[in-house]
Structure 1
Amino acid sequence: MTVKPIRVWLTPPGPNPWKVIFVLEELNIPYEIKSFAFAEVKKKPFIDINPNGRVPAIEDPNTNLTLWESGAIITYLVEQYDTAHKLGHTTLNEKHLVNQWLHFQTSGQGPYYGQMGWFNVLHEEKIPSAITRYKNEVLRVLTVLDGVLQGRDWLVGDKMTIADMSFVPWNDRLDDLLVQPLDETYDGLPHVRAWHERMAGRPAWMRTCAIRKGLMMEQGLLDATGMPEGYGSIQEYLADLKEGKVRG
C-alpha cells in the first residue's frame, strides 16, 4: 500500500518540530511541511488544527488522524509506521522504559531548557536568580543523562530509539541557551556529549538541520533567536507581533 505524505505544521525556529522531522527522516516516511510564521501560531487556520496554538502538529491522511504534542506524535509514528522496530522495542519493559525517557524529555528537558533560553537570552530584564535556577536545571538534566549513559550507548537497550532522539533538538541549542562554549558546558559530562554527537552526526539529523535552515532563510529569520532581521530585542519583535506589523 502506498503511504500518502503526512502533513507537518511547524514554525521553523522552535526545537520541538524537529523531533518529528528527525523521526520521519530516519524512518523514510513521506511527509510535507506546512511552514508558517510564528505570528500566525495563535490564529486560524492553525488553531483549528491545534487549539493550544503550539507547534508541531500533524495531519495523517492515511489514518485521518490529526495530532499535536511532539512526544505524542513521535510515539504514534513509531507505533504506526516503524514495522521493523528500528526506533523502538517490542518487549514490555523496554517499551515502557522508552516511554519513561520520552516523558522525562517532554516534562524535564524541554520546559527547563525553554525557560533558560527565555531568561538568559530573550528576556529584556536580566534576573540573576532565574538565570541561575534554570542553568542549574539544564546542568541537572545533563548530569542525569550522563550518569545513565555511563557504560552504554543508548538510553534503552542496544539501539537508538525515539527516547534518545527526542533530546537532540534541544541539546543542539546548548551553546545558544547558555551563551557559553560547549566545551565548558560538557566539562565532566563526556557520556552525554558522545551520545548527542552520535545522533547529531546521523544523515537523518543533518538533513533535518538543512531543512530547518532553508525554512528559516525563507522567513528571513536569525538562526539563534528566531526573530526576523532588523530586530534588536525580543521585546521589539513581540510588540510588533501584537500590532500585526512584523518587519521583514
Structure 2
Amino acid sequence: MERPENVPNDGLVLFVVKATATSTHNTVKPLMLIEELQIPHKTYVVNSISEPWFGRLNPHKMVPAIEDTPAGSDRRLQVWESTSTLTYLADAYDKDGLFSGRTVAERAEVGNWLTLHTAALGPTAKYWLYFEKLHPERVPKTTAKLRSNIEKQYDILEGRLAQEGQQYLALPDRPTIADIATLPFADEACAVLFGLDLSNWPHTLEWSRRMAARPAVVRARERVAKLGHE
C-alpha cells in the first residue's frame, strides 16, 4: 500500500495508533516533551502499523515515530523508537538544554538514566504487559519473573530518588527526558497493572505525582487518551 494522501508531508509529524489501555505508554513520551517545549506539530493516527508505507518510515513498524525537516535542512528525517524521538526533539528544539542537559556532566547523567530505562524497565514492562494481558495462562513463570525484575527496577529508582535533594532522576532540580521516558512505566496506574503498590517505593511515588502534576504532562495524557477516538 502506498503512503496515504492525507499523511502530512511538512513540519513535525508524530505518528501514533488508536489509544487503547496498553498502546499509549510509549506514544505519550514524545508528546509530553512536545507539550513541554510547545513545539508546533501534527499527529497522524496510523490505521495499521503493518502497512508497507509505514514500514518504510519505521522498519520496526512500531509507534511512536516522527517525521521532520530540521531547521537549516531540506532533508525529511524519519525518527523512530520512543527514546530516539525524545533525544531528537531535545536536540532539535531544546536549545537551552533544559530537558537534555546544559553541561557535559548533566548530559552524562541524563544519558545514564535514559539508557537504563531503555535497556531495563521499558522492555521488561512492555513484555510483561504483552504476556500477562494476551497469554496469562500460558506463561505464568515468565510473567512472574518479569514482575520481579520490574520490582528491582523500582528499587533502583527508589534508591536514586531517596538521595538528599534528588527531586528527579537524572538531575536534582528539574525533570529531563530521562524522567519523561520513565514515568509511563513507573506511576501509580502502571504499578497497579503490574499488581504492585507504588507506596512501597515512597520516593518514587512522590516523584511520579510531581511529574504527573506538570501542566504539559497533564495535557499530553489527556491528548493521548483521545487518539483515534475523535
TM range (shorter): 0.7 to 0.9
CA contact (8 A) 1:120 1:177 kept: no
Which residue of structure 2 lines up, in the alignment, with residue 115 of structure 1?
127
Which residue of structure 2 lines up, in the alignment, with residue 25 of structure 1?
35
User: Structure 2-normalised TM-score?
Assistant: 0.84
In the alignment, the residues of structure 2 paired with residue 124 and residue 139 of structure 1 have an alpha-carbon distance, to the nearest angstrom, of 19
Which residue of structure 2 lines up, in the alignment, with residue 16 of structure 1?
26
Aligned length: 209
In structure 2, the gaps of 5 or more residues are 1-9
In the alignment, the residues of structure 2 paired with residue 123 and residue 198 of structure 1 have an alpha-carbon distance, to the nearest angstrom, of 34
> How far off its partner does 1:124 sit?
5.0
Which residue of structure 2 lines up, in the alignment, with residue 144 of structure 1?
156
- Deviating runs (4+, > 6 A) in structure 1? none
Which residue of structure 1 lines up, in the alignment, with residue 7 of structure 2?
none
Q: Deviations over 1:84-117 (max 9, x none)?
A: 2221212112211101111111111111101211
Q: Counterparts in 2 of 1:1-248, with a 5 A limit? A: 5-11=11-17, 12=19, 13-37=23-47, 40-62=48-70, 63=73, 64-123=76-135, 125-150=137-162, 151=164, 152-157=166-171, 158-172=173-187, 173-175=189-191, 177-178=193-194, 180=195, 185-218=197-230
> How far off its partner does 1:175 sit?
4.2
Q: Deviations over 1:151-206 (max 9, x none)?
A: 2101222211111111112224524531x3xxx52243101111111111111111
| Paired letter, 1:137 | N
| Paired letter, 1:6 | L
In the alignment, the residues of structure 2 paired with residue 14 and residue 192 of structure 1 have an alpha-carbon distance, to the nearest angstrom, of 21
In the alignment, the residues of structure 2 paired with residue 80 and residue 45 of structure 1 have an alpha-carbon distance, to the nearest angstrom, of 25
The alignment's C-alpha RMSD in Å is 1.8
| Paired letter, 1:154 | Y
Which residue of structure 2 lines up, in the alignment, with residue 226 of structure 1?
none
Percent identity over the alignment is 30
In the alignment, the residues of structure 2 paired with residue 94 and residue 144 of structure 1 have an alpha-carbon distance, to the nearest angstrom, of 19
User: Structure 1-normalised TM-score?
Assistant: 0.78
| Paired letter, 1:174 | C
